[in-house]
Amino acid sequence: MTCTLPPLVERQNAQPSPCGVQIPLVTKKVLLDYKDMLTPRKKKDQNQKGIDKRKKEVDALFRSMCLGILQFGNEATETIVLTYDPTVRPKNYRIACGQVSCGDGEQCDEFPFASTQEGGVAPGICIPARGNSIQGGFLGSQLKSNNIKPGEKFILRFDGINCKEFLGTGSSGAKAPLPRALANESSLEIGLTEQLQNLTVDGFGPFNPDDNVLDHGLYPISDLGPGTYAVSTTVNTGIVRSFSIIDNQGTEYASITRNLNNSSGVVSLTFNLTERAVITLMVDVTIGDDIDIRASLQQVTSSNATTSPTSTFHSNPTAISGEKGGPVTVLKGYIFSLWLVLLGFIM
């Protein structure tokens, strides 16, 4: 007689299985609420243009994830069981996105997530860069708040959405084409240069109940190759509780937690990448606060390294020095990158 195990998400611990083996229970969950993500937090974004723009970005992210749910997960419950493992992210990302070329304002997104053992099984697709930032912010926060450690399984669940209806699929499960270019109107609002520039930061409120009163702002920096980078920031208006550098898997590379305002000068977060990663600046403020910030990006050193980072969420073994989460420098003037200094000696 053939023995078939029930789906992992339905298994119960300490229950005799049909196959005579002990079946573990998966209790830890990550919840992504579609309708909640659609809601702009800041009054200035609560207009039709802001609502439409946000919907394009959130919809593109959920199209990518829903395609994966229908192919690899449980479409009846909008769930999939994943195994958190940040060490496989570089390999899985190369498999899914290594041959994908995206247009202006877009980045490659992969599902199942590259930071899980189930990742790297389907080609990535192009979505607006802010969609990747949204994914990284929500995923990283929930991995941390639910204390999900490397090697542990968790149930990813979508709320407020029916993936089959959302994708326009029929009973046969045939998938509707994925709209490719959805970021045209926001393509000029993302990315950082070597010159300080004003940022348009989208606020997403608390990521989970443990966030208290924090509003998380997300700004896509770029798809960056191996090397050491410095993101310099200034606060012109308002008070920033913290700055963080994260990727689209929620891994944090550097952060500073401090009340920063227009008298704080230039704050520089230095971080190292041993593999290509999709990087976002996360800005945390008290909900309702209006902020005006500027930022720039300098590549301090480049690298051809291909080794995989072994850091877990909220850690960075390659950090040089600094406050919680990574290297941070607070200066009263502008930051000059190393290559500019060397250029001065050559000239």
pLDDT at 106 over 60: yes
CA dihedral 183, 186, 189, 194 (to 10 degrees): 30
112: preceding bond cis by omega (within 30 degrees): yes
Q: What is the pLDDT of residues 239-270, one digit of tens each?
A: 999 999 999 999 999 999 989 999 999 999 99
Q: What percent of the chain has pLDDT over 70?
A: 71
User: What is the pLDDT of the chain when averaged over all its residues?
Assistant: 77
* Confidence label for 322 from pLDDT (cuts 50, 70 and 90): very low
| Position with higher pLDDT, 20 vs 338 | 20
Residue 50 is predicted with a pLDDT of 76
Q: Worst-scoring range by mean pLDDT, 14-18, 117-121, 211-215?
A: 14-18
Is pTM beyond 0.75? Reply is: no
| Position with higher pLDDT, 231 vs 181 | 231
Give the mean model confidence (pLDDT) for residues 101-118.
92
Q: What is the pLDDT of residues 24-62, one digit of tens each?
A: 688 899 999 999 888 776 666 677 887 888 899 899 999
Residue 45 is predicted with a pLDDT of 66
- The sheet carrying 292-302 orders its strands as 197-198, 292-302, 227-237, 266-273, 328-331
Residue 201 is predicted with a pLDDT of 84
* Confidence label for 168 from pLDDT (cuts 50, 70 and 90): confident
| Structural domains of the chain, ranges and CATH numbers in brackets | 8-185 (no CATH), 190-346 (2.60.120.380)
Residue 183 is predicted with a pLDDT of 35
Q: What percent of the chain has pLDDT over 90?
A: 46
CB 232 within 8 A of CB 296: yes
Q: Worst-scoring range by mean pLDDT, 12-26, 125-139, 186-200, 263-277?
A: 12-26
Helix axes 129-145, 48-72, angle to 10 degrees: 70
Distances (CA, A) of 249 to 17, 54, 116, 326: 34, 20, 9, 17
Kindly state the tokens that stand for 246: 């994260």
Query: Rounded to an integer, what distance in angstroms lies between the CA atom of residue 34 and that of residue 186?
Result: 21
Q: What is the pLDDT of residues 282-293, one digit of tens each?
A: 999 876 677 899
Q: What is the pLDDT of residues 199-226, one digit of tens each?
A: 888 888 778 767 766 788 899 998 899 9
